[in-house]
Every structure is written in structure tokens, then in C-alpha cells.
Structure 1
Amino acid sequence: MIHANSRVKFDFGVIGRLKKAQIQALEQTGEFLHTEIVNAQVVPFRDGTLQGEAFSVDYSGSSGGRVSLTHSTPYARRLYFHPEYNFNTSTNPHARGKWMDDWVEGSKREDIKKAYAALYKKISGV
């Protein structure tokens, strides 16, 4: 019978830096997604509020692994969940309801994962 002994040493300083890198990469991924949505010109845009100062990234849950994109206008929910509306496309040619769906469940979902991986690798040096 073969017996083996092993000893494991954890470098908690490195683990702490990797955890910090996770949070930073998550926050930067939130900014990446915000920029992607604005650049895709899919948010209904009349006077700039819905896409401008009322659209932001909420970092309050980042230490727990969550960032959120939020609209602080009272009408954002109504516009988002009613894609049948006839949206003005003079400023944003691709304006529509459910403007985040491509990144949530559609063709651009993988872009978010790739962005996080690249940002984490860059920040952590791994």
C-alpha cells in the first residue's frame, strides 16, 4: 500500500487580490455593457433622459457579485415591456422595447462573458 503526504499553503494575500480583481472586473463589465447598449442605439430617445443621466450602473451589490443597469425614470418600465409601441427612431435608429434582450438572452450574451474574462485576466494578471 502506498501512502502519500502533502502540505498545502494558502497565500491569503494573493487570494484577497484575486477577490478584489473579481469585483473590479465585474464593475468594469457593467460599464462595458452600459456602453454597448448606448452605442447600439437601442434605447428609446426623445430628450435624452432615458439613455442619459437616468441610465446608469449600480455598483451597490458588486462585493456580492452583482451589478445592475438601472433606469431611474418612472416610464422606463412601461417603455421596456411594450415593444409594440411606435418608437421614434430619428435619434436612435434601432430604438425599441426590450432593448437589453440581446445582451440578456440573445446573440450578445457571450460578449458579456468574454468581456468579464478579459477584464479579470487583465486586472488580476492571471
Structure 2
Amino acid sequence: MDNAAKRKANLTSRDMLANLPIAFLICTSQGDWEIIFSNQNLPSLLGYASFGDLMKATGGKVTNLVYPTDRSLVEQKITADLANGQVQPFFCQSQLVKEPGYGHIFYVALSAMYSR
């Protein structure tokens, strides 16, 4: 194996997720929009020490990341995106993906500029 191939093989998905310069999460697209996963940048950006602390504070629901008076607007936006089958720009970057184990799920990316 040449040096370039060795370097590429040593870069794991875990490394990439941990070092992306954005905070992101994955959540279900039905029901309560349950948080399935986030990289460590998300709890950090929001002031939590760990993913467990984030889940405890939000009850594991993505809408609980939104200020209470804005939740209905966000819920309407998510519902419209699902009805249209695509995501229109709003407060974050997201992508709707069909995943065999979960059905349709959202991949959501937030950056510091969106949190201020």
C-alpha cells in the first residue's frame, strides 16, 4: 500500500465526524423528530458537556432545540418539507434521506452563524 492509500485508510468516519467544522445532528422525520445522533460540536455549540446532557435537556426531540415561541413555525416548516419531499432553506442546512433502518430521516447541519 502506498503512503497516500495508507493515509486515506487511517482517516476513519469517527475522525471525520469529530472534526467537521460544523455542528450537525440526525433526526427522524416522523412523530416527535427524535434526535438519533449528533457530532460533539452540537452539544458544545449549545453549551452542553456531552451528547447525553443534550438529550436529557431536550428530551431527545429536535424541536426542543428551538425557542418555545418559535416551535410551531419550525414544526410547520418541517411538515411542509416532508409534504414537498424536499427541504427549503430556513434556519439551518438539512437533507431528507431515506434510510433502510429508519425510513425518511433528516441530516441537519448548524453553524455558529445560525445560533446567534
TM-score by shorter chain over 0.5: no
Q: Comparing both structures, which one devotes a greater share of its residues to strand?
A: 2
TM-score interval, smaller chain: under 0.3
TM-score calculated relative to the size of structure 2: 0.25
Higher RCO (CA-CA < 8 Å; seq separation 6+): 1
Tell me which structure has the larger Cα radius of gyration. 1
TM-score calculated relative to the size of structure 1: 0.24
